[in-house]
Structure 1
């Protein structure tokens, strides 16, 4: 009986955890909740292509916004005009890339099921390559080339919101380590060091920095437990980008602002010495020993980390 009580309590406890942030309507500091759309929204001011915008939102754990209905459209339009009224149009999650002339949303809904107020005379396929959609400040839709660059809005629905309480973040694929007080994620998409640093920043985390031999040993175990996908891309296997650099050639620094100087014990380096040469960004071998790579040339996997104060539910 006692064991059944423990199981029931655990199920209830974890269930309460998973819905906790939905009740608080919180995803990230840079997202704003709008009740009309039952979701959280953020305006991405850096212009990107439609494909880049779609990928960017997905990497944040959200999706490229499109208005579901008139109420959501008016609420998000007011949000847009309040915080970024200088933009005349933004990409939305609609296209006819699958079947020419049949515009659908990024989750497969035909446009007659969602908000679909077009600019007069559109879609008109001018030039034959206008397969993506922008939303004008007037509230009307317009077809455009997917390769144009515009700002856009990412949306996180309340229904899709989970919360990693050990790491105090919305990303469930980060693993908490009690000995270091950090959460880690091994990214298995080959990237340059510069791209890896930006990718961690997208998740509001940082490229990992090894402080002790024990931490290095933990990361080797984490690497071993992470499945490696098959890819035809040519990348440096067995090496993981880490959060230190000597780009300014003034000594090794932490990649986290304000980039404080770093001193590594000799035994943390491969060969027990600090390498010198043109490779000015940090990396780690799969066995936990540090090394250096070219910042903008070497493609490899990488590890993001976040120092956390574990959050418990109220």
Structure 2
């Protein structure tokens, strides 16, 4: 049994570190992003090729932006990192012609002339009249390209823009910490189909919420009740939210556990009733389960487990934080 004294010292040390070392000193965004101190930003090279629009959406889902270079120093730092890790000859960057052909702007609406505009010889040339997006070559030059083509890309998060959620140990303040469960939840107000919702939660280092008991069902129902759902317009199904279970040779959670063994399997009246047409899981606003078409657009809830005792967490705070050794034999 852990000593109360040791536990107190442990959490006091953790709290003090939070106060003494701001996120600007921790220099951590996500496990899959790399910090370049020369330009005080975090970067992720995406090796799965996507169209320009899909690349932009992917970065936004991760809480970042499609990278575009601010200046020569950033180009040098990113290309050095790129050269040391990947073989690509070019990448999509966050520059396009969103409003007028041949008028290039960043994803932040900044004219390219105000950031980095070192074009390759003869570029931009709008070949075939279809080149409205921009790639960065390995030599540091820019070239206009067809937005529908698929290329690797880089997402960027500046240290200055980071807003850390200390309760949930995640760079997203929209997650709410629940003390009873010791984990965090986020209600997403942008309706999506089940697969896209799953992807969004994963990109946030979380997963589509799984209900493990009646108390957790009440927590999610309360979160749903408080969300400003009525303000959201558009074509989507009201009355239910996507959750992390589906019919895969029987109803199972996304972690592979049969629903009846997960701790909670209270279906709504008459549910499940969709057969092969409704193989994804959802929750009525009252907390009862419902089967739904995987293509149906709904709100959804992500769940985040806090890893405050992991090695990675300690490393984020540097060598200053040394976990207290807990003696399990001391009363």
1:260 corresponds in structure 2 to 257
Deviation at 1:267, TM superposition (A): 6.8
The correspondence for 1:24, drawn from 23, 26, 38, is: 26
1:308 corresponds in structure 2 to 306
Q: Report 1 or 2 for greater relative contact order, CA contacts < 8 Å, sequence distance ≥ 6.
A: 2
Deviation at 1:18, TM superposition (A): 11
Check conservation: 2:53, 2:147, Cα contact below 8 A: yes
Deviation at 1:211, TM superposition (A): 1.2
TM-score (norm 2): 0.82
Whole-angstrom CA distance in 2 between matches of 1:285 and 1:109: 43
Check conservation: 1:167, 1:183, Cα contact below 8 A: yes
Change (3 A) 1:78 1:221: same
Change (3 A) 1:134 1:18: farther
Whole-angstrom CA distance in 2 between matches of 1:33 and 1:25: 7
Mean Cα displacement is larger for which, 230-239 or 28-37?
230-239
Structure 2's unaligned 5+ residue stretches are 1-14, 322-331
1:61 corresponds in structure 2 to 63
Change (3 A) 1:34 1:265: closer
Change (3 A) 1:120 1:272: same
1:9 corresponds in structure 2 to none
CA RMSD of aligned residues (A): 2.5
Given the alignment of the two structures, is residue 186 of structure 1 paired with residue 187 of structure 2, yes or no?
yes
CA deviation profile, 1:228-276 (whole Å, cap 9, x unmatched): 26555322211111111122x1x322213xx233325677221387657
Deviation at 1:33, TM superposition (A): 0.8
Whole-angstrom CA distance in 2 between matches of 1:294 and 1:202: 23
Deviation at 1:50, TM superposition (A): 1.3
Mean Cα displacement is larger for which, 87-96 or 170-179?
87-96
Change (3 A) 1:48 1:19: farther
CA deviation profile, 1:163-198 (whole Å, cap 9, x unmatched): 111111001100011111221111122211122111
Q: How many residues align?
A: 296
Deviation at 1:82, TM superposition (A): 1.4
